[in-house]
Amino acid sequence: MRLCLAGLLTAGLSSLALAQNLGLPIILPEAVFSSLGRVTGATTEQRIMDRGSIVRIRLGDNQERLSPDTGVLLFRQGLRLRDGGRSLGVLAVPVGRGRSLQRLSENEEIADPNEPGVAWVRLQSVRQEVSRGDSLMTERDAKQWEAGNCDKTTVGKADPTPDAEDIKVIALVSSNVLADPLSTSLDLVIISGGCAAGLTTGRAVSLWRPPVTTYGRQLDQPVEARDNNSASVIDDNPGILRTKTPGHRIGSGVIVAAYPDAAIVRLRIATQPIQVGDQARPTPLRN
């Protein structure tokens, strides 16, 4: 009995270690992400696939075949990253890892193993349950899109410190399945800027809530001027109060991956829930 429990505990810990080793999210061009294979179901027709499930993949090319015993990563449906009106790519969050079936296993497990444009993958570890619509990429292809060292020509020799207003939180993401975006349990955020703004891997940043202007109203007599409109009502009616709350620091973190126009920050501390639109200020570099 004890040996059985020890074996189950060891298997559970090894599975957890594999799940935690899925790595950071990656940022892909939208054209690349849209061409990836998609999870369409499992052999048991279950809606949610867990570790050990054999999942069906519809590849991007109908004539494509996935080599046997190929390591793959599965990504949650992509999130478009935008900085103002500019597209920065698609954020792909890894949720599972698996390997394509060997030919013998395909013949034993699958009714039609030679269906064109279809691959079958056995899940080895999951960070979240894999579901229909998730994307697939081979481990070799995923490494090509991982953030590398910033090009020195992109960063510049002077390592400029960009304005705080120009670097903002543009997406929230977490490797924790139970993380609540409305709490301080998130561990990763995506900020704009990247290598082009002098942000490099390992650089510390602080996160700030921007100043907020709120409007209130005193109990006063209404202004009945016929030319009142939304643009002049504040000037015409002194009973409307305008209060400006100054910006304040809400957390800090360190850049763990820098792309040309965006960066991934791992939070160290957050005193308030991080929101999209919060400002990120890089810590000045010391000589």
Q: Is residue 6 part of a domain?
A: no
Question: Among 28-42, 103-117, 233-247, where is mean pLDDT lowest?
Answer: 233-247
CATH number for the domain spanning 254: value is: 2.40.30.230
Q: Do 63 and 106 have their domain in common?
A: yes
What does the alpha-carbon distance between residue 183 and residue 271 come to, in Å, rounded to a whole number? 10
Q: What is the pLDDT of residues 96-139, one digit of tens each?
A: 999 999 888 888 888 788 888 888 999 998 888 888 889 999 99
Q: What is the pLDDT of residues 54-75, one digit of tens each?
A: 898 999 888 888 889 999 999 9
Record the pTM.
0.77
Q: Do 115 and 44 have their domain in common?
A: yes
Structural domain count of the chain: 3
Whether the per-residue pLDDT at 18 is higher than 70: the answer is no
Q: Do 41 and 88 have their domain in common?
A: yes
Dihedral pair phi/psi, residue 212, rounded to 5°: -130, 130
Whether the per-residue pLDDT at 239 is higher than 80: the answer is no
User: Distances from the Cα of 223 to the Cαs of 220, 228, 232, in angstroms?
Assistant: 9, 8, 11
Q: What is the pLDDT of residues 262-287, one digit of tens each?
A: 999 999 999 988 999 999 999 876 64
Q: Do 112 and 164 have their domain in common?
A: no
What domain range includes position 264? 149-211+246-287
**Averaged pLDDT score across all residues of the chain:** 80
Q: Is residue 141 part of a domain?
A: yes
Q: Do 66 and 195 have their domain in common?
A: no
Q: Do 139 and 184 have their domain in common?
A: no
Q: Is residue 4 part of a domain?
A: no
Q: Do 175 and 287 have their domain in common?
A: yes
Q: Which of 93, 116, 146 is the last residue of a domain?
A: 146
